[in-house]
């Protein structure tokens, strides 16, 4: 019994440490004890004890003047090692740069991570726009362009797990009904691209397409994001063509061919459905 209790406490500590690290991604690069305790939902004393322990191991650094904490050298080494494991995407950056130039909007590359869209690369447009994405950040897959492009081709159990967690509303356009999301994913499978129609942030529209590996499995997604007015003015179909062309080029780089896709990477559709266009209408691919 004592051993089981110790194991439970150990698991709780790991969960809390992870939540603290996640707070630095979601809130900002430097956080006070108070900010961490509020964000993670811990007592001040518990948050302080964990932050000090993480600082002793070099996971975090504490500024003696501001008394705020930031990511430390040990964690940066772990992060660099993790990035090193994603070498398969290193050569994708020139394609992201070309996509940004062609569309004039910021381009992204993301992978699916536990039902979330993890941004692994980004080429910023000179047209500044406040966006919720940055490299290393995880955003809900169900309401982002790259996330929906990834979810559409994910195994059924992955989609079920996302739905089981609940669909949080971020804007009036966020899809929060499970059946509507399933219908949206069906449309993405047919059209080959996804649209975030101001679903994660009002005024922001993203268009995304899946990236496949040698086996034809969807392993990443590429997108552009820009102000809804600019995207609509340029035309969804034109932008979607540029995005899907970039996704295909990166897929080819990873060894994908048209023949690879047959029978790989996609879940069977759940019946006929439509997918919402950027202007709020429906499109049937």
pLDDT tens column, 190-201: 999 999 999 999
The architecture CATH gives domain 2-78: Orthogonal Bundle (1.10)
Compute φ and ψ for 110, nearest 5 degrees: -140, 160
Confidence of residue 9 (pLDDT cuts 50, 70, 90): low
- The mean pLDDT value for 105-133 works out to 82
State residue 280's pLDDT score: 39
- Alpha carbons 150 and 146: distance in angstroms, whole number: 6
What's the per-residue H, E or C state across the chain? Answer: CHHHHHHHHHHHHHHHHHHHHHHHHHCCCCECHHHHHHHHCCCHHHHHHHHHHHHHCCCEEECCCCCCEEECHHHHHHHHHHHHCCHHHHHHHHHHHHHHHHHCCEEEEEEEECCEEEEEEEECCCCCCCCCCCCCCEEEHHHCHHHHHHHCCCCHHHHHHHHHHCCCCCCCCCCCCHHHHHHHHHHHHHHCCEEEECCCCCCEEEEEEEEECCCCCEEEEEEEEEEHHHHHHHCHHHHHHHHHHHHHHHHHHCCCCHHHHCCCCCCCCCCCCCEECCCCCEECC
Is this structure's pTM higher than 0.85? no
What average pLDDT does the structure give for the chain? 83
Q: What is the rounded radius of gyration, in angstroms, for the C-alpha atoms of the chain?
A: 20
Q: Where are the domains of the chain?
A: 2-78, 86-283
pLDDT tens column, 80-96: 555 544 556 778 899 99
Contact 244, 227 (CB under 8 A): no
State residue 206's pLDDT score: 95
State residue 210's pLDDT score: 97
- Alpha carbons 173 and 180: distance in angstroms, whole number: 12
pLDDT tens column, 55-79: 998 889 888 889 999 888 777 666 6
- The mean pLDDT value for 104-123 works out to 90
CATH topology of domain 86-283: Beta-Lactamase (3.30.450)
Q: Is residue 134 scored above 60 in pLDDT?
A: yes
- Going by C-alpha positions, the residue among 243, 217, 220 that lies closest to residue 90 is 220
pLDDT tens column, 223-263: 999 999 899 888 889 999 999 999 999 999 888 887 655 44
What tokens does 205 get? 């529209």
């Amino acid at each position: 019994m004592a051993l089981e209790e110790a194991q439970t406490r150990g698991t709780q500590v790991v969960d809390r440490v992870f939540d603290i690290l996640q707070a630095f991604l979601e809130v900002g690069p430097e956080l006070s004890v108070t900010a961490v305790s509020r964000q993670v939902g811990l007592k001040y004393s518990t948050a302080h004890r964990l932050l000090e322990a993480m600082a002793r191991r070099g996971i975090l650094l504490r500024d003696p003047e501001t008394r705020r904490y930031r990511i430390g050298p040990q964690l940066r080494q772990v992060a660099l090692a993790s990035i090193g494991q994603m070498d398969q995407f290193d050569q994708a950056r020139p394609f992201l740069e070309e996509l940004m130039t062609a569309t004039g909007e910021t381009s992204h590359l993301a992978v699916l991570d536990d039902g979330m869209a993890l941004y692994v690369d980004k080429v910023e447009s000179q047209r500044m726009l406040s966006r919720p994405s940055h490299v290393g950040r995880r955003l809900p897959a169900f309401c982002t362009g790259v996330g929906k492009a990834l979810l559409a081709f994910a195994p059924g159990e992955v989609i079920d797990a996302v739905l089981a967690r609940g669909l949080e509303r971020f804007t009036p356009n966020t899809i929060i009904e499970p059946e509507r999301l399933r219908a949206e994913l069906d449309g993405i499978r047919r059209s080959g691209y996804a649209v975030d129609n101001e679903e994660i942030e009002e005024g922001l529209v993203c268009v995304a397409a899946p990236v496949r590996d040698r086996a034809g499995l969807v392993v990443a997604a590429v997108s552009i994001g820009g102000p809804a007015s600019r995207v609509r003015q340029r035309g969804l179909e034109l932008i979607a063509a540029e995005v899907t062309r970039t996704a295909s080029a990166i897929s080819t780089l990873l060894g994908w061919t048209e023949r690879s896709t047959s029978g790989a990477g996609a879940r069977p559709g759940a019946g006929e459905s439509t997918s919402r266009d950027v202007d709020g209408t429906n499109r049937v691919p």
